[in-house]
Amino acid sequence: MISVRLLFVCAIMALGQGVALRAEVSLLTGSGHPPFTDAAWPQRGMITELIETAFTESPEPEPFRLIWRDDWDRHLDLIRNQTVDMAFPWFQPLCDAPQINDPHCVDFHFSDPVIDLVILLFVRADNEFAFTDDADLAGRILCRPTDVFTQGRAEHDQLWHKIESVTLKQPADPAACFDMLMSGDVDAVAVNEFLGVRQLFEAQLTEDVVPLSRPLSTQSLHVVISKTHWRGTSLMYRFNAGLAKLRESGAYAEIVSRHLATYWARLKG
Amino acid sequence: MTRLCLIAGVVLTLCTGQALAAPCGGTYEVARGDSLSLIANRLYKDASKWTRIHAENRARIGDDPDKILVGAKLELTCINGLPLGLSVVAGTARPVEATPPSVDADTGIADAQPAVPVAAAPAQAIRVVTGDDQIPFSDESLPQGGMLAEVIDAALAAGLPDVPVETFRINDWGSHLAPLLSENLMDLSYPWPRPDCDGDDTPRVCREYGFSDPLFEMLMLLFVDAERPVPLVSVQDIQGQRLCRPAGRMVFMLDADGRRWLQDDRISLVRAPTVAACFDLLVAGEIDAVVVNEFSGRAAVAAMGLSDQITGLSRTPLGVVTMHAVVSRQNPRGSELLAQVNEGLRVLRRSGQYREIVARHLISAWAGL
C-alpha cells in the first residue's frame, strides 16, 4: 500500500514546475443513517450518491475521496482543523436570523441544500391533537431527540423561538421519544419523516401512532467546509454548480426516487 | 556567445574549441536546506530527476524522499551529461563528451549556469516584489503585509534558509512582470492569478514566466449594482457592457472558457488605478461591472459602505482562479528559485504553518465583511 501511494506522489511531482501538487478533496461522512448515508445501503446512501455525482458533474472537477467515520460528534472539529476538507450531511442553522448567534455560521460555509427534510409531529392515534396553527402547540410537551446532524441543537428549529410555552424533552435515542409518547409523558414526537416512519415500523407502532399532515418545520441537509480553508469558496462553488446541474438534468430526481423506493420496500418487507 | 563563456566557467573550454572530456556524475554531500528536487534542479537542471536520485540512493535515504540528512553523501549518476563538477569517487563517474549548453531558439539565451552547488557560492539576496491593494493577500496596511506576503516570507525562509531576501512594494502592478522580472531587476513577484497554461493555445505569459504551486484558490467575480436588472450571464447580457479591472492586473479571465469578451470586442475594458476607483466608477454609473476576485471585491465594498448597493455575482463567477508567485524564464536562477519556493510551501503545508497563516488572515477578512 505504501509503495502504491508513493508511486502516485512521484508521478504527480514528476510533472514538474508549475503543476500543483494537488491532493484529492476529502469528503467526510458516517454510516448508520439509511437512506441518507449508510455504508450498507445501495450506493452507500441517497445523499452520498447525490454528493458524489454532484462533484463529478462540477465545473473544473477535482478528484475526491470519501472518508467514513461513525464518530459524528467529532466531524465538525475535523472540518474546523482541516484534517478533512468537507463533510456531509449537516443541518444549517438559521444564520440570517438576528437572535441566533451560532458559531457554526461563523466557522462554516454551507452548501445549497442537498435535500430538504420535513419535520413532522407523530402523535398517538387515539389522541386528538389539533395542529392547524403554530399557536396550537402552546402548553404542549414535545419530544425532540437530539440529532447527530444538529449536534443536539434543537434551538435551530424556528418554532421554539416563536412558542415559548412548549416544553421540550430531548433524549438521545428517538425510540425513547416514542416510548414516552406511548406512556403519555409527552404529547407528540417531533422528528423528520424518514426517522419517524422507520421508528414506527421498528417498534411496531404503525397502528398506534400517526404523523400529523401539517409539517412542524423543514430542515435542509448540507455539505460544509471551513471558512478558513484555502479553497473554501471555490470548492463550495464547484459543488453547488454540480448539484444545480443534477437538478436541471433530472438526475437528481432519479436518484432520490430510486432511494425512496428502496426505503419503502425495505420498511414494508 | 563570448559573454556566455565568461559567465559560465565550465563552458569556457568549449569555446576554445577543445572538446575536452569533463567528469560527469559523482558524489554530492547534502547541505542544509537541500531537498532531492532542489538538488535535481541544481545539478541535473531538471527538478523531476529527483526520482532518479531517490531510486539510486534508496539504500542511503530510505523510502521517504523528504527525509535526507545534512552531510549524507549521494551518488549522482551521469544523465545527459550532467552533473558536472562533483567530487569523483572511483567507479561512479565516467568521462563523457561534453555537450554544448542548450540554447533557446527564440531568445538565443543559453541555459548555462555554473555547475557547482549553490551552497558553495556566496548567497546573493533574492529580490521579491509585491504591492498594495490586494486585500487580504498583500497590502502594507495588513498584519504581516497580508496573507500571501506572510506565506511567501515563510516559504522562502523554509526553502532558502541561508539566503537573504529583500522585499519591495511597488504599487504599479503593470511593471512587475515586465520590466521588473523580465529584465532581472527583481526575481519573484506575487500574487498573480494563473491562466490555463495547459490548454491547446498556451498563453504567452505561461511561456515567458514560471508560476509557483498555488498559494490560494478562490472565485473571480463580476461585482454589479444590486438592483441591476440584467444578470450578466449570457453572451447577450454582456454585449456592450463596460467592465472595470484595476490597472496592471491580468485580464485573461475575460477571454477564458470560450468567453472571448475581449478578443471579440464584446465589452469595453476600463482600467482604473485601484480596486476602490473601479467601485467609484460603478457607483457613478460610468461602468457596469467590476472584475476582481471575491475577497478583494467584498473587502472594498464593505470598506466603502456599499454592501447594500453592490453585489458580487458569486453564482456565476468568471471562474476559479489560483494565486501564485511568478519568476521570469529569462532569469538564470528563476527555475531554481521557483523549486525552492515550492519546496518551502510543501514544508509549510506539512507542518501546518500554511493552514495557520491562511486561517488567521481569513478570520479577519470574514469578520470585516
CATH of the domain at A104: 3.40.190.10
Long-range contacts of the stretch A203-208 (C-beta < 8 A, 24+): A203/A175, A203/A178, A205/A178, A207/A125, A208/A124, A208/A125, A208/A126, A208/A182
Query: What is the structure's pLDDT at A150?
Result: 65
- Could you tell me which of B355, B321, B351, B346 has the C-alpha nearest to residue B47? B346
Pair (A128, A161) in one structural domain: yes
Instruction: Identify the weakest region by mean pLDDT among A92-96, A140-144, A259-263, B178-182.
Output: A92-96
Query: What is the structure's pLDDT at A151?
Result: 56
Give the three cell numbers for residue A180. Answer: 414516552
Is the pLDDT confidence value at A256 over 60? yes
Pair (A214, A247) in one structural domain: no
Residue type, B269: L
- B204: DSSP letter: H
Is the residue at A10 inside a domain? no
CA-based angle A239:A22:A11, to the nearest 5? 135
| pLDDT tier, A196 (very low <50, low <70, confident <90, very high otherwise) | very high
Residues near B4 by beta carbon (within 8 Å), at least 6 away in sequence: B11, B101, B110, B112
pTM of the model: 0.76
Domain of residue A102: give its range: 24-115+219-268
Query: What is the structure's pLDDT at B122?
Result: 58
Average pLDDT over residues B192-197: 96
pLDDT tens-digit map of A207-240: 999 999 999 888 889 999 999 999 999 999 999 9
Q: Which of B63, B211, B213 comes nearest A21 by C-beta?
A: B213
Higher pLDDT, B230 or A76: A76
Give the three cell numbers for residue A6. Answer: 508513493
The answer to whether the CB atoms of B51 and A10 lie below 8 A apart is: yes
Q: How many residues in chain B? A: 369
Q: Which residues of A touch B (CB under 8 A)?
A: 2, 6, 10, 13-18, 20-21, 59-60, 82, 106, 226-228, 230-234, 237-238, 240
Q: Which residue of A has its CA nearest to B197?
A: A18
- Could you tell me which of A87, A93, A55, A52 has the C-alpha nearest to residue A73? A87
Is the residue at A2 inside a domain? no
Q: Which of B219, B320, B359 comes nearest A228 by C-beta?
A: B359
Pair (A173, A234) in one structural domain: no
Residues near B25 by beta carbon (within 8 Å), at least 6 away in sequence: B75, B76, B77, B78, B83, B86, B88, B92, B93, B94
Pair (A73, A197) in one structural domain: no
Query: What is the structure's pLDDT at A211?
Result: 95
| pLDDT tier, A129 (very low <50, low <70, confident <90, very high otherwise) | confident
Distances (CA, A) of B296 to A49, A162, B37, B253, B301: 36, 39, 35, 16, 9
Query: What is the structure's pLDDT at A15?
Result: 33
pLDDT tens-digit map of A51-89: 999 999 999 899 999 999 999 989 999 999 999 999 999
Distance (Å) from the C-alpha of residue A79 to the closest C-alpha of chain B? 12
Average pLDDT over residues B323-340: 96
Buried b (16+ CB within 10 A) or exposed e, B159-178: bbeebeeebeeebebebbbe
Query: What is the structure's pLDDT at B38?
Result: 79
B284 half-sphere exposure, CB direction, 13 A CA radius:
10
Query: What is the structure's pLDDT at B99?
Result: 37
Is the residue at A7 inside a domain? no
- Could you tell me which of B123, B117, B148 has the C-alpha nearest to residue B135? B148
Is the residue at A136 inside a domain? yes
Instruction: Show the domains of chain B with their CATH numbers.
Output: 18-103 (3.10.350), 126-215+323-367 (3.40.190.10), 217-321 (3.40.190.10)
Q: Which of B148, B298, B358 to mutate to test the interface with A (most CBs of A within 10 A)?
A: B358
pLDDT tens-digit map of B78-111: 887 788 777 654 333 333 333 333 434 343 333 4
User: For residue B304, how many other CB atoms are within 10 A of its CB?
Assistant: 15
Q: How far apart are CA B184 and CA B209, in angstroms?
A: 12
Pair (A70, A125) in one structural domain: no
Query: What is the structure's pLDDT at B189?
Result: 98
Q: Which of B48, B194, B359 comes nearest A14 by C-beta?
A: B48
User: For residue B106, how many other CB atoms are within 10 A of its CB?
Assistant: 8
User: In terms of C-beta density within 10 A (0-12 exposed, 13-18 middle, 19 or more buried), how is residue B268 classed?
Assistant: middle
Average pLDDT over residues B220-237: 85
| pLDDT tier, B235 (very low <50, low <70, confident <90, very high otherwise) | confident
Is the residue at A15 inside a domain? no
Pair (A224, A213) in one structural domain: no
3-state secondary structure of A117: strand
- Could you tell me which of B163, B201, B199, B154 has the C-alpha nearest to residue B325? B154
| pLDDT tier, B39 (very low <50, low <70, confident <90, very high otherwise) | confident
Pair (A134, A84) in one structural domain: no
What percent of chain B lies above the pLDDT cut of 70? 83
| pLDDT tier, A23 (very low <50, low <70, confident <90, very high otherwise) | confident
- Into how many domains does chain A fold? 2
Q: State the residue for C-alpha cell 521570469.
A: B328
Is the residue at A5 inside a domain? no
> CA-CA-CA-CA torsion for A96, A98, A100, A104, nearest 10 degrees?
40
User: What are the E-state strand segments in chain A?
Assistant: 25-29, 64-68, 86-91, 108-110, 115-124, 141-143, 167-169, 188-192, 209-211, 217-226
The answer to whether the CB atoms of B197 and A238 lie below 8 A apart is: no
Is the residue at A16 inside a domain? no
B294-303 vs B275-283: helix axis angle to the nearest 10?
60
Query: What is the structure's pLDDT at B29?
Result: 85
Pair (A223, A111) in one structural domain: yes
Is the pLDDT confidence value at B222 over 70? yes
Is the residue at A3 inside a domain? no
Q: What stretch of H or E contains B167?
A: strand B165-169
Is the pLDDT confidence value at B288 over 50? yes
Is the pLDDT confidence value at B224 over 50? yes
| pLDDT tier, A159 (very low <50, low <70, confident <90, very high otherwise) | low
Chain B residues with CB under 8 Å of A237 CB are 219, 314, 317, 320
Query: What is the structure's pLDDT at B106?
Result: 40
Q: State the residue for C-alpha cell 430510486.
A: A258
Pair (A145, A163) in one structural domain: yes
The chain-wide mean pLDDT, for chain A, equals 86
Query: What is the structure's pLDDT at A17?
Result: 33
Last residue of a domain, one of A176, A194, A218: A218
Pair (A189, A250) in one structural domain: no
Average pLDDT over residues B177-201: 94
Instruction: Identify the weakest region by mean pLDDT among A9-13, A119-123, B141-145.
Output: A9-13
| pLDDT tier, A200 (very low <50, low <70, confident <90, very high otherwise) | very high
Distance (Å) from the C-alpha of residue B279 to the closest C-alpha of chain A? 22
Q: Which residue of A has its CA nearest to B137?
A: A230
Pair (A128, A176) in one structural domain: yes
Average pLDDT over residues A255-267: 95
Pair (A101, A122) in one structural domain: no
